[in-house]
Structure 1
Amino acid sequence: MQRSAFLKSCLALACAAALPAAMSPAWAAGATEQLSSGQFTIIAPFPAGGAVDILSRILATGLTEEYKQAAIVDNRPGANGNIGIDMVKRAKPDGHTLLVVPQGNLTINPTLMPKLPYSVFGDFVPVASMGRAANVIAVNPQVPAKTIQELVALSKAKPDSISYASPGVGSSLHLAGELFKDKSGADIMHVAYKGSGQGLNDALGGTIPMLIANMPTVLPHVQSGKLRALAVTDATRSNFLPNVPTLAEAGIPGIAVSSWYGVLAPRNTPPEVVRQLAEDIDRIMKTQAAQSQLKAQGMTPWVVKGEAFGELIRKETALWAPVVKSHHIVAQ
């Protein structure tokens, strides 16, 4: 799939998701009654404090307010999210157990891990996306490159001198780095860390010159001058770093990727319940409270609902699959 066609498709999906649904009072009433009948459990398959946890708590608060039922966040980290994902896979499909996950578990892992213990569409129903964050290419200030083009030139002039940190092999940030290499011809080496924190600390300390991270990870350090942001990998500039160009603006077109997060329900959850939950998520993410919480984290609300969300997952899976295969990336 051509990158430009992919971007147009994503824009079309987002527009379609924004259109008001033709809601039948009958199904809406039935779904509301079902969702008002018991406690919600939001499974966050990663540790507390990260983006998945923050979004899970925003969702839990919104559902509690809407249905006057308790909504708890259950953090179940481990096995690259598979422990928590398996819990939702086996949960009763009544709309009261939901999964919040990053895009990688939906669009990268199916290619990266051939023996994945779940099927995105076989075991789950896509409900809606919740938010997104731009990815940033940043360097330690001791690196002489002030622009992306200078970084590429430096890497070619001094082969093997520039390495970049990512939060793990096969992460969306790792793959963004490989796309950057493919499109720019940069001679850079990947160094995988176990999460964003260690790589960030090494970049701040100068042990590793470069990192590709999402906005919440690097924003305070760019603002303080401890890191230098050279570009964002998104299609447009970020409101959080408006003076930092996109890769396309920096002369390296063909890359427009970001980090996003979505909600899934167990397979066989009634369609009317899924539709109602998608509407609920859309409403929750438009509240001032949700937007303020995301802004504080360098994220923005981004809701793509129902079938459009499912199609987005399929299209991004098709985008990342050849990157995983061509670079022979294997999960560790």
Structure 2
Amino acid sequence: MTDLPRRALAPLAAGLLAVPALARADTYPGKPIRIVVPYAPGGTTDISARLLGEQLGKRLGQSVVIENKPGANSIIGAGSVASSPADGYALVMVIGAHAANATLFAGRLPFDPVKDFSPISHVVSAPLILAGSGKSPAKSVTELLDAARKNPGGLNYGSSGVGAAAHLTMEDLQARTGARMTHVPYRGTQPALQDLLAGNIAAMFDTYSTLKPQIDAGSIRALGISSASRARFAPEIPTFAEAGIPDFVSSTWCLLLAPAATPAPIVQRLSKESAEIVREPAMAARLEAMGFEVVGSDPEQAASFLNAEVERWGKVIRAANVQVE
């Protein structure tokens, strides 16, 4: 066979190889879909996945099952999806820790947080709130940071764990302001919140939905919100820009991913349905009341966002020399 026939046959061979993928996309979904949440039930990721999954199932005419697989800073759950068939039936809802893991565990992960996934949609974001203990004299961002600068390392702050958005956001804040507090990592948000209530730590970052009951009860203080402008769901909480820290914007977020090489028509359909679900007025209002900002991006925007978050948190991790055991 000469080179010319080989070149002529190449497009035909590529087309034949694409047929199975197209056929799968045309009949998708033909069975229940699984969304893995790499955290325990009840948290921000779990709530958003369940709200999305319920409506996604109705739209697709198939059950959408939420499977909680916590452990190892989301690595266990995300890894189970990375190694699943790329057919659209195994998805994962990740948050900021997924982007941080690319740097925290560089060279030690069983998968690549970017290359081994096909981004579907940046579903929602939740700007983080800096909460101060009700037992602390600091009643504002400025007062807390002034106290930390006067007594470097003397104040403790908590987080849900090393590498969590709450942890890295505080490290970023300290780097920008020259304040220095001592990090106390917990196994989850609730233990940290209990110590905030008890006055054992001075402050912590977390989401509005997590902190709201205690803020409303007056047990803790909402010192500032890390959004570009005051949030509609909590207009009484000042931004960090108002405290003299411009462009300090940080959030946890929920990003829906599929295994790499999932057929593009499947990814596009899941993205379109997800965006329409979260933007539907009743759902958007429900999410906003819980402290979420609706996004609903397309796959290209989701991929760009994930890459930017990996780069952003990588810089913070390296600058603060954050280490995991």
- Shorter-chain TM range is 0.7 to 0.9
Question: How far 1:117 moved relative to its partner?
Answer: 1.5
Q: Which residue of 2 is the match for residue 47 of structure 1?
A: 40
**Percent of pairs with identical residues:** 31
Is contact 1:113-1:330 (8 Å) kept?
no
What secondary structure does 1:121 align onto?
Answer: coil
Q: Which residue of 2 is the match for residue 65 of structure 1?
A: 58
What secondary structure does 2:156 align onto?
Answer: strand
Question: How far 1:227 moved relative to its partner?
Answer: 0.7
Matches within 5 A, 1:124-143: 124-143=117-136
Question: How far 1:30 moved relative to its partner?
Answer: 7.3
What secondary structure does 1:120 align onto?
Answer: coil
Q: Which residue of 2 is the match for residue 145 of structure 1?
A: 138
Is contact 2:135-2:199 (8 Å) kept?
yes
Q: Which residue of 2 is the match for residue 96 of structure 1?
A: 89
Is contact 2:74-2:97 (8 Å) kept?
no
Question: How far 1:286 moved relative to its partner?
Answer: 1.8
Is contact 1:179-1:323 (8 Å) kept?
yes
Runs of 4+ in 1 over 6 A off after TM superposition: 29-32
Q: 2:235 aligns with which of 237, 242, 258?
A: 242
Matches within 5 A, 1:181-260: 181-260=174-253
Matches within 5 A, 1:259-270: 259-270=252-263
Q: Which residue of 2 is the match for residue 328 of structure 1?
A: 321
Is contact 1:135-1:213 (8 Å) kept?
yes
Q: 2:105 aligns with which of 102, 106, 113?
A: 113
Q: Which residue of 1 is the match for residue 268 of structure 2?
A: 275
TM-score, with normalisation over the residues of structure 1? 0.86
What secondary structure does 2:223 align onto?
Answer: strand
Is contact 1:94-1:269 (8 Å) kept?
yes
Question: How far 1:288 moved relative to its partner?
Answer: 4.5
Question: How far 1:300 moved relative to its partner?
Answer: 2.9
User: Considering only aligned residues, what root-mean-square deviation do their CA atoms show, in Å?
Assistant: 1.8
Question: How far 1:301 moved relative to its partner?
Answer: 2.0
Cα 1:91–1:159, aligned 2, differ >3 Å: closer, same or farther?
A: closer
- Bigger-Rg structure (1/2): 2
Is contact 1:44-1:76 (8 Å) kept?
yes
Is contact 1:128-1:304 (8 Å) kept?
yes
Structure 2 letter corresponding to 1:238: A
Residues 288-314 of structure 1, C-alpha deviations (whole Å, 9 max, x = no match): 453354245322322222111101111
Cα distance in 1, alignment partners of residues 25 and 281 from structure 2: 23
Question: How far 1:102 moved relative to its partner?
Answer: 0.8
Cα distance in 2, alignment partners of residues 151 and 53 from structure 1: 32
Question: How far 1:137 moved relative to its partner?
Answer: 0.9
TM-score, with normalisation over the residues of structure 2? 0.88
Provide structure 2 residue ranges, at least 5 long, that are not aligned to the other structure: 1-21
Q: Which residue of 1 is the match for residue 277 of structure 2?
A: 284
Residues 75-111 of structure 1, C-alpha deviations (whole Å, 9 max, x = no match): 1112222222122112221212211111221x21100
Residues 230-279 of structure 1, C-alpha deviations (whole Å, 9 max, x = no match): 11122222222212211111101242111111100111111111111110
Q: Which residue of 1 is the match for residue 11 of structure 2?
A: none
Cα distance in 1, alignment partners of residues 297 and 183 from structure 2: 32
Structure 2 letter corresponding to 1:110: A
Residues 203-250 of structure 1, C-alpha deviations (whole Å, 9 max, x = no match): 011111211112222122112211111111222222222122111111
- Size of the aligned set, in residue pairs, is 303
What secondary structure does 2:124 align onto?
Answer: strand
Stretch deviating more after TM superposition (273-282 or 301-310): 301-310
Structure 2 letter corresponding to 1:251: G
2:169 is the alignment partner of 1:176: yes
Is contact 1:165-1:208 (8 Å) kept?
yes
Q: 1:318 aligns with which of 296, 302, 311?
A: 311
